[in-house]
Amino acid sequence: MTKGLLLIGAGGHARSCIDVIESAGMPIRGLVDKTERIGQSVLGYAILGTDDELERLLLESSGALVTVGQIESAALRIALYGRLEALGARRPVIVAKSATVSPHAQIGAGTIIMHGAIVNAAARIGENVIVNSRALIEHDCVVEDHCHVSTGAVANGAVKIGRGSFIGSGSMIREGVTIGAGSLIGAGSVVLGDCPENTDARRGVWPRRSS
């Protein structure tokens, strides 16, 4: 029986994940995607089936990772992760060889720490989280389940990022700030104060000051 990780989703984010998984020295079984893509391959790994065949495919795999990307909504990643949980799939933590994760940090199941990212001491990262390339999660931060902290984003000390939030590339969150669940912080934003749940903060300085 062939063993290796089953990747759920075969788009652009999956390609980045494959590179990270390979760097971590973990075998890959193949990918899951739409029916019309079965038999195709991504970076040399076959698309083996669809979501409807997860139960069978998991029996032939050593674990699974959600490799669908996330920008405006975490809904699809949450749904897929829930299916893996319900099927009892092993959901390993993936850490790129070039990433730095403090031994004093906590990383939840199904989370991927990508190339050059840093997770510092006493940080707590939830389940099914993407910490993308060169992102910085500083000491005592909390990143709740199903978040995506994008490339080059900086969460300074004791920041809290609520469940299902997206933090855009190159954004900076001031120390001690809380980002409410389901928020979208746009690329290049500077967040200087707390944001309520479902904040939609496109590029700029947030929260906005009243004129």
Query: 5-53 pLDDT, tens per residue?
Result: 999 999 999 999 999 999 999 999 999 999 999 999 999 999 999 999 9
Give dist(CA 70, CA 13) in Å, integer: 9
Could you identify the residue written with the tokens 């707590």?
124
Residue 210 lies in a domain: no
Q: Is 3 left (phi over 0), alpha (psi -120 to 50) or beta?
A: beta
Considering the domain architecture, whether residues 103 and 138 belong to the same structural domain is answered as yes
Considering the domain architecture, whether residues 121 and 190 belong to the same structural domain is answered as yes
Residue 105 lies in a domain: yes
Considering the domain architecture, whether residues 51 and 151 belong to the same structural domain is answered as no
Considering the domain architecture, whether residues 134 and 201 belong to the same structural domain is answered as yes
User: 46: domain CATH number?
Assistant: 3.40.50.20
Give dist(CA 70, CA 51) in Å, integer: 18
* Tens of each residue's pLDDT in the chain, 211 residues: 458 999 999 999 999 999 999 999 999 999 999 999 999 999 999 999 999 999 999 999 999 999 999 988 999 999 999 999 999 999 999 999 999 999 999 999 999 999 999 999 999 999 999 999 999 999 999 999 999 999 999 999 999 999 999 999 999 999 999 999 999 999 999 999 999 999 999 888 988 765 4
Domain that holds residue 63: 5-86
Could you identify the residue written with the tokens 């759920």?
8
Identify the active-site residue in 115, 139, 146, 148. 139
Length of the chain (residues): 211
Tokens of 186: 């746009």
Number of domains in the chain: 2
- Which of 42, 22, 20 is CA-nearest to residue 32? 42
Q: What pLDDT is attached to residue 209?
A: 65
Considering the domain architecture, whether residues 80 and 100 belong to the same structural domain is answered as no
Residue 211 lies in a domain: no
Q: What pLDDT is attached to residue 1?
A: 42
Q: What pLDDT is attached to residue 208?
A: 75
Considering the domain architecture, whether residues 68 and 112 belong to the same structural domain is answered as no
Task: Specify whether 139 is catalytic.
Answer: yes
Residue 36 lies in a domain: yes
| Residue 152 near residue 170, CB atoms below 8 Å | yes
Q: What pLDDT is attached to residue 13?
A: 97
- Mapped onto helix, strand or coil, the DSSP state of residue 23 is helix
Give dist(CA 204, CA 184) in Å, integer: 12
Q: What pLDDT is attached to residue 203?
A: 81
Tokens of 191: 């967040």
Considering the domain architecture, whether residues 187 and 105 belong to the same structural domain is answered as yes
User: 107: domain CATH number?
Assistant: 2.160.10.10
- Distance from chain centroid for Cα 69: 8
